[in-house]
Structure 1
Amino acid sequence: MSITTRTTTEALDAAGRDRPELRKMIEEIVESGFTGVTLRVHDERDEWVGSAGVAELGGTAKPPINGHVRIGSNTKTFTATLVLQLVAEGKIGLDTPVVGYLPEFGLDERITVRMLLQHTSGVFNFTGEVYDDGTIVYGIPVPYGTTGKEWVDNRFRTYRPQELVELALSRPARFEPGTGWSYSNTNYVLARLVIEKVTGRSLAEEMQRRILGPLGLSGTVVPDTSPEIPEPHAHAYYRYEDAGRQKTIDITRHNPSWVSTGGDMISTTQDLHTFISALNGGQLLPTELLAEMRTPHPTGIPNMDYGLGVFVVTTDDGGTVISHNGGTVGSAAEMYSTPDGSKTLTAALTWVADADMAIATAFHDARQRLVNEVFCGGQAEPAQPTD
């Protein structure tokens, strides 16, 4: 009997498979400021899953063991995998200029598909470009920074991919194509449009046909503009100032098109495990393209490089972990795997977000503790971008 069917501490203990160190860790993460945490670990000691905190403010029920969560930038790994499948079929050229697929935007002819997936295009990030001097320039209202209330007021607005790309291209490029690295959600909106152009189908249709269906990822959704999230799920919250007063609202439902293919998908810790294990286990891509995906490109972040839709993390003991994470407003997902897919860590976290990103330090610490425990034997783990 799979341990995934057991949802209580008592059942885990009865099975003799509970991991007190992991349970204590997620409880301490909740104490640091999160409303809820769900953790799933697959390793040589079998599978362990547990949750701590509450599913809803004011309630007593814990987050559902396999609840749905907005996975943020983990979406990029799914999208990059889909692009590389099309590369394998000869429908997309990895080093082909993007302008050939999307001539309507007047893109710099030097920008290739690889640069989109690798974040080396230099294209402005519509959710906020962070410059070396600390200055942040926003393209649209976002739930962090100085535009919190404006995002709340517009949280059910629909942004179309073309609109986001046009906005981004109206701003100066961060650098010349291929000369630097900068995390930009715009890259993946462009990747979505390339997918749709060459297949003649929507991203959601292609994702279902090529990845979600074959892997049986029934808990994973490409929502496009829908504000809904399937049950069961923990709730996400947002705190902001309105007319001099602090308000806290439930923002679990919102239109995710503001981040589009940069981070709009919904999944579960079980589905994320299945996906990242299958990807690294060679089930989704030919060997040579999986190697391309995991070829590290320098990011300027210590021990943290980026491939094509994945982070390539070097641990202090010299090991390698393939990962992505994703944070959206009030919720986040973590996804880590050994290069062979045999050991994985997936997690879902919820909290009360605010414009100041007050949870940021606790978020980094939580990730570091979880990954250290499972992969690094307590050694340090660097931060990653979370949007």
Structure 2
Amino acid sequence: MIRRLVRGAALGVALGLGGAAAAQAQAPEAALGDLLGAFQARYGFPGATAAIALPTGEIVTAATGLADVEAGTPMRPDTRMLAASIGKTFVAATVLSAVAEGRIAEADLLADHLGDRPWFDRLPNAGGITVGQLLRHAAGLPDHVHMDSFAAEMSRRLATGGDALPPEGAIAFVLDAAPLFPPGEGWAYTDTGYLLLGLVIEAALGGAYDDAVTARFLVPLGLTGTVPSNTRVIPGLAVGYTVPGNPFGMPPRTMDADGALVWDPAMEGTGGGLASTSRDLAAWGQALFTGQAMAAPYLDRLLDGVPVSPDAPDIRYGAGVAIYADTPRGPVYGHGGWIPGYVSSLRHYADPGVTVAFQLNTDAGVVDDSSDLVPALEAALADLAIAMAQAAGAGR
């Protein structure tokens, strides 16, 4: 994950029409569609959607390619894909909303909420972890997703049609493991930590996380294209395509002929846990990073980050958000998402006040960092979004 954060900071080189020229020469939707089409022609991915949220409140959307290659189904702007780890922004926001209500504190020890679980004392750094450290991946926990034993269990469940592991079943893969560092003395990305945060949320609020995020954010913000990814059949979901020989033993097409995923996405839990559209992701990012996602002030806590590496002093990780403090386009906040068959990106450019999101229905060339597609597309979309914002401002 650190490699992806550092690589993302470079922001790539724009491809196709220059942002300013496209914004001036074409309608916004046409310019965005042409840019996506140029990237598909160069990189050969099945399909993509993208959205740009402007300071005016307008959200520009476009799509290119196919949502189902075998059936020839075109990708549409409202096509859903698995948003993967971008869901962590919703988990962290749910924690911050509970903090504002006095039901959770960032200084709370994890033991205050989960210490009665029979497995708790076997958790690495069990006694010293705080909620704030979990939010920022600073708890010293391993990541179960990248353990060979977890990959083997995923492959077994795929082969037998088994359901997802519950969160505590996934957390079990790190029990009795050595901590990576003492709590608060380093940074290591871990989905396991966000599964623990999901359990904290449910213990503190007395209900399911899916219900909490729906009631607190999805409904109030009108994110009707976003739903919990807790079932194999998700209406409007594009087919995802992954690489042969992947660690989880999945077939290249991750959806069967009846529209059901070949694996149970509930396995992801609060490590992500949502299917969404690029339009909704852009709307969410615009609300979240401009302080409009909840009534109580929260931006200072959201953007209170820890360094991810001594080699990348300008990159920090806040409460479920990567923070790029110094880029050619000014401060950038956001998150990426990868899950077999899908890649998503969410970026907010603070100075021009624009948010950009895109989703791809393949992870080929992305999961192994063998392609520059993601940073290059982020850069091209950023330039186009900034030019659109400038054009909109000049037109007022």
TM range (shorter): 0.7 to 0.9
Larger relative contact order (C-alpha < 8 A, sep ≥ 6)?
2
Tell me whether 1:295 sits opposite 2:300 in the alignment: no
Q: Which amino acid letter does the alignment assign opposite residue 79 of structure 1?
A: V
Quote the offset at 1:363 in angstroms.
3.9
Corresponding residue of 2:3: none
For structure 2, list consecutive stretches of 5 or more residues without a partner in the other structure.
1-22, 388-396
Corresponding residue of 1:237: 241
Residues 249-288 of structure 1 aligned to structure 2 (within 5 Å): 249-251=253-255, 253=261, 254-285=263-294, 288=297
Aligned length: 348
Tell me whether 1:343 sits opposite 2:354 in the alignment: yes
Quote the offset at 1:23 in angstroms.
3.3
Corresponding residue of 2:38: 28
Equivalent residue of 1:227, what SS? coil
Superposed CA offset, 1:58-97 (max 9, x none): 3444311111110000110000000010001110011110
What is the rounded CA distance, in whole Å, between the counterparts of 1:174 and 1:371 in structure 2?
Answer: 37
Corresponding residue of 1:133: none
Q: Which moved more, 1:110-119 or 1:321-330?
A: 321-330
What is the rounded CA distance, in whole Å, between the counterparts of 1:299 and 1:185 in structure 2?
Answer: 16
What is the rounded CA distance, in whole Å, between the counterparts of 1:157 and 1:363 in structure 2?
Answer: 33
Equivalent residue of 1:67, what SS? coil
Tell me whether 1:122 sits opposite 2:137 in the alignment: no
Corresponding residue of 2:343: 332
Corresponding residue of 2:206: 200
- Say if 2:317 and 2:323, in contact at 8 Å, map to a contact too: yes
Normalised by the size of structure 2, how large is the TM-score?
0.78
Corresponding residue of 2:27: 17
Q: Which amino acid letter does the alignment assign opposite residue 176 of structure 1?
A: P
What is the rounded CA distance, in whole Å, between the counterparts of 2:307 and 2:165 in structure 1?
Answer: 32
Distance verdict in 2 for CA 1:109–1:321, change over 3 Å:
same
- Say if 1:127 and 1:259, in contact at 8 Å, map to a contact too: no
Match of 2:53 among 33, 39, 42: 42
What is the rounded CA distance, in whole Å, between the counterparts of 2:49 and 2:301 in structure 1?
Answer: 32
- Say if 1:277 and 1:341, in contact at 8 Å, map to a contact too: no
Quote the offset at 1:163 in angstroms.
1.2
What is the rounded CA distance, in whole Å, between the counterparts of 1:247 and 1:158 in structure 2?
Answer: 18
- Say if 1:149 and 1:241, in contact at 8 Å, map to a contact too: no
Q: Which amino acid letter does the alignment assign opposite residue 56 of structure 1?
A: D
What is the rounded CA distance, in whole Å, between the counterparts of 1:199 and 1:165 in structure 2?
Answer: 21
**Percent identity over the alignment?**
25
Q: Which amino acid letter does the alignment assign opposite residue 70 of structure 2?
A: G
Q: Which amino acid letter does the alignment assign opposite residue 99 of structure 2?
A: V
- Say if 1:97 and 1:112, in contact at 8 Å, map to a contact too: yes
For structure 1, list consecutive stretches of 5 or more residues without a partner in the other structure.
1-12, 129-136, 378-387
CA RMSD of aligned residues (A): 3.2
